[in-house]
Amino acid sequence: MIRLAGEDDLPLLREVERAAGRPFADVGMDLVASDEPPSLAVLREFQEAGRAWVAVAEDGPVAYLIAEVVDGCAHVEQVSVHPDHAGRRIGFRLIETLAEWARDRGLPALTLITFTEVPWNGPYYLRCGFRYLTDDELTPGLREIRAAEAVAGLDAWPRACMRRDL
């Protein structure tokens, strides 16, 4: 079941994020694997704005998606699935939930920024209907996010912006 995140979910989302990050160590991306999840305060901002969704199993949240609006598009800030629940299309269902939210608000597309060579990132999002944006297609907001990511060291691995028209 997918639903809007509640206040009680927020600490559990941090645990989901830590677990979802661990596989990055297996592909030599220790910086990503050890990155701290968003703080409770940051998660609360998304939750209170109605832009945080959770996928819930019998034992609680197993995945989540937080989004913002960037340059008039619904932007996937983070989507994470606990590895114990991977391969069940939970991430895709969360993305579809965001797509419905965006359509209801008249937004034309979903955007995100991802690692291009990590199988559960760029190649996965291509299968979800996203396409890579060229440099000429980047909006000011996406450029700003990319610049902040570069400062954080994420450009140590190939990254790109993606878009899925709705």
Taking only the tens place, the pLDDT of each residue in 118-158 is 999 999 999 999 999 999 999 999 999 999 999 999 999 99
**Where do the domains of the chain lie?**
2-165
| Angle 126-118-47 from CA coordinates, rounded to 5° | 75
Query: Domain spanning 2-165: which CATH class is it, in words?
Result: alpha beta
pLDDT at 23: 96
Q: Are 51 and 110 in contact (CB under 8 A)?
A: no
Residue 100 structure tokens: 């419905």
In whole angstroms, how far apart are CA 149 and each of 15, 103, 144? 22, 28, 9
What SS3 state is found at 150? helix
pLDDT at 58: 87
pLDDT at 126: 97
The ranges of the chain with pLDDT < 70 are none
Neighbours of 81 (CB within 10 A): 23
pLDDT at 123: 96
* CA-closest candidate to residue 129, choices 157, 98, 85: 98
* CA-closest candidate to residue 79, choices 142, 132, 29, 121: 121
Q: How many whole angstroms separate alpha carbon 128 and alpha carbon 91?
A: 10
